[in-house]
Amino acid sequence: MNRYLLAAGAFLVLGTNAAFAHITLETQEAAVGSTYKAVLRVPHGCDGKATTAVRVQIPEGVIAVKPMPKPGWTLQTKKGKYEKSYQLYGQAVADGVKEIDWSGGNLPDEFYDEFVFRATLTADLPAGRKLYFPVVQECGDAAARWIEVPAAGQDEDALENPAPGIKLTPKK
Amino acid sequence: MVIAFIVMASTSQALAHAALIKTDPADGAVLAQAPARFSLTFSEPVSPLVLTLVRPDGTPVALTSFRLSEQTVEIDNPRALKSGTHVLSWRVISADGHPVGGSLLFSIGAPSEPPDVSEAIDWPLRSAIWIGKVLLYAGLFFGIGGAFALAWLAGDGRAGQRFVAGAILCGLVAAPLSLGLQGLDALGAPLSHLAQPVVWRTGLGTSFGWTVLIALIALGLGLVSLAAPRAAARPLALAGLAGVGAALAASGHASAAEPQWLTRPLVFVHGAGIAFWAGALVPLGLALKRQAAGAVEFLRRFSWAILPVVALLAAAGIVLAVIQVRTPSALVDTAYGRLLLVKLALLVFLFTLAAVNRWKLTASAEAGATEVQRRLTRSVGVEVLIVLAIFGVAAGWRFTPPPRALAIAAAQPVSVHIHALQAMADLSITPGHAGPVSVSMIIMTGDFGPLDAKEVTLVLSKRDSGIEPLKRAATKPGDGSWRVGNLVIPVPGRWTVRIDILVSDFDVVKIEAPIDIRP
């Protein structure tokens, strides 16, 4: 039994190792109806080129988004209407940030950096499923698009450019 | 001549062997249920001759209800199909008058052992077609050419008239017979079906029908010229000779080649030239043998005229050969090229004999040296035999597609239609064989609407080959398509083509399908 667990553990470690090359979120799990601090980890540029912009698309059901400014980067957000209105501290919220854009920076390929935002995961989100935050990483005129979301039944590891995602857990 | 030009004009659309470009269902497809219809799309307009559906148990069903729309043949599926692998066998006629055939496999439910539909070569029919062709050539060249020689060159001598009449009669029998045999070949029917009217209608409907009609008229003119008084015989024989050229220009590989404005007149000149030369041989040989009055005059006229005629004949032949064979390696690599080599070898022999006759023997024979005249007669006899052998080789071309047509077929693109919920694409790879290719894609939404993609990336992979996927960004030339040029597909076989369509900044749609790359 122990050996089995060990093997499974090794498999998990090895399995997630592959994801280190991608842009990922530091905290891989969060409960619906909670506040989530998203830390986007950018491990490298696009095919050796320095990263100059990071853009994140906010999925439906994620509201009250507040990105953290970064020295040397211009921070902008795109706002828009949500598909429906959500309750936040007893108030209806129908629009907000849909996209965050850190640009004008320079993160060489050999360096690592993190991009942070805070958001509320509404209670309407389906617990037990994964929630994806598609990211476009720009490197001058090149770009790496971490925007692939697995189709139903598709293995996430089979994707070339998976979008970073978190597992939604039930409301506490 | 008038007939010749009508034929040239009316069939100027003709290209080459038609090649199958696309089928629905695709070859090898596994379908959930039987399709309501099948469709076959060719590289040029065709007309179907035989369409057969072979069921999993091997029983054939004739498919008779079909419609033609441009290059596509739409065939109704007459009945419900049981599950298992079916074969749709097709045989169509293309513009050069030669039938082409093939089959595609598809399965309902799940694949089963495919029924056996191997297309065996019908040797008795092939032999009959070949003999018919040789006899037709004999009628056209020895018969009509002989009538021309008698009318224009022989003066008052009538030596060889009976041979010429015999050759024409032989052609008169062979021409319609060849038509029936062509019909049998077109339908893929055995010799025993020769009496069926549909066979003859089919034969007449191919471009070879024109060859036979014109040949019959020309043979008739030749025969009448034999009996007519000199003044009438000459124009009749001349028209017959022109008919020989026109008959040959009306069908066949060489006439179907591009550019038509060049190949058809060349075939005409080549055919008329052969008739002039070959036709004169027997009457001349017999006249010399019998030491008939006027034989020397005949020889003088012939040897005066033959140089420019052979020059034209050879020039036309060389240009046609170059158009057909294209590359020197095809001379050895293809059956067509090998037949050409045999013909060239025979021609070298023939030209050597003819040159010896022309420059060594003719002068003394004209001066009346009897011994030399006898040698000349023997030599002419050998020439006739070589000419017959050349007819035999030329008739063999009936069964070998020229390298030109093979190259056209190889250059045809392969296409695939990929349909998914979010997007679909029409993709074609040109040429559809391994090597340097260019790829063109039309991207649409899943419901045929326009899709203005931000980026399109093509990924070609072949998992069983150990080759890493080939990934290329497509460019937009501005005509609504996406293109990838300078791509080399290293090996033939079944590849998976995937198109990554960036619909918006954060949305990518990936669609994929298998595609077969020819060797």
Span B415-449, pLDDT tens digits:
888 888 888 888 999 888 888 889 999 998 888 88
Determine the Cα angle at A133 with ends A131 and A137, to 5°.
155
pLDDT band at B270 (very low <50, low <70, confident <90, very high): very high
How many residues can be counted in chain A?
A: 172
Chain B interface with A: residues with Cβ < 8 Å: 502, 505-508, 510
A148 to B508: CB separation less than 8 angstroms, yes or no: yes
The residue ranges of DSSP E strands in B313-446, in sequence order, are 414-419, 423-430, 435-445
Residue with tokens 């055939």: B101
- What was the pLDDT predicted at B16? 46
B506 to A148: CB separation less than 8 angstroms, yes or no: no
- What was the pLDDT predicted at B117? 52
- Contact between A138 and A95 under an 8 Å Cβ cutoff? The reply is no
Q: How many CB atoms lie within 10 A of CB B403?
A: 23
In angstroms, the separation between the Cα of residue B448 and the nearest Cα of chain A is 22
**Measuring CA to CA, how many Å separate B272 from each of B103, B143, B146, B388?**
40, 12, 12, 16
Chain A interface with B: residues with Cβ < 8 Å: 55, 57, 134, 136, 145, 147-148, 161
Long-range pairs, A17-26, Cβ under 8 A, ≥24: A18/A157, A19/A162, A22/A146, A22/A161, A22/A162, A22/A164, A23/A54, A23/A135, A23/A137, A23/A144, A23/A146, A23/A164, A24/A164, A25/A133, A25/A164, A25/A165, A25/A166, A26/A114
pLDDT > 90 fraction of chain B, expressed in percent and rounded = 30
Residues 6+ apart with CB under 8 A from B34: B77, B80, B81, B108
pLDDT tens digits, residue range B16-72? 456 677 788 877 777 888 888 888 887 777 777 778 887 777 777 778 888 888 778
Contacts of B507 in chain A (CB under 8 A): 134, 147
A136 to B502: CB separation less than 8 angstroms, yes or no: no
pLDDT tens digits, residue range B478-492? 888 899 988 888 888
**CA B326, chain centre distance (Å):** 15
**Mean of the pLDDT values across residues B367-388?**
85
pLDDT tens digits, residue range A129-168? 999 999 999 998 888 899 988 887 777 777 888 999 999 9
Higher pLDDT, B28 or A85: A85
pLDDT > 70 fraction of chain B, expressed in percent and rounded = 93
The residue ranges of DSSP E strands in B213-351, in sequence order, are none
- What was the pLDDT predicted at B171? 95
Residues 6+ apart with CB under 8 A from B22: B39, B40, B41, B415
ipTM for the predicted complex: 0.74
Average pLDDT, chain A: 86
- What was the pLDDT predicted at B13? 32
- What was the pLDDT predicted at B9? 34
> Coil, strand, or helix at residue B7?
helix
For residue B509, the chain A residue with the least C-alpha distance is A148
Higher pLDDT, B358 or A92: A92
Model confidence, pTM:
0.61
- Name the least confident of B250-254, B286-290, B320-324: B250-254
Bridge partners of B233? none
- What was the pLDDT predicted at B451? 86
Average pLDDT, chain B: 84
Higher pLDDT, B78 or B5: B78
**Mean of the pLDDT values across residues B140-157?**
91
Higher pLDDT, B57 or B96: B57
Q: Phi-psi category of B435—alpha, beta or left, where left has phi over 0 and alpha has psi -120 to 50? A: left
pLDDT at B338 over 70: yes
Long-range pairs, B433-437, Cβ under 8 A, ≥24: B433/B492, B433/B517, B433/B518, B433/B519, B434/B489, B434/B490, B434/B491, B434/B492, B434/B517, B434/B518, B434/B519, B435/B488, B435/B489, B436/B486, B436/B487, B436/B488, B437/B487, B437/B488, B437/B489
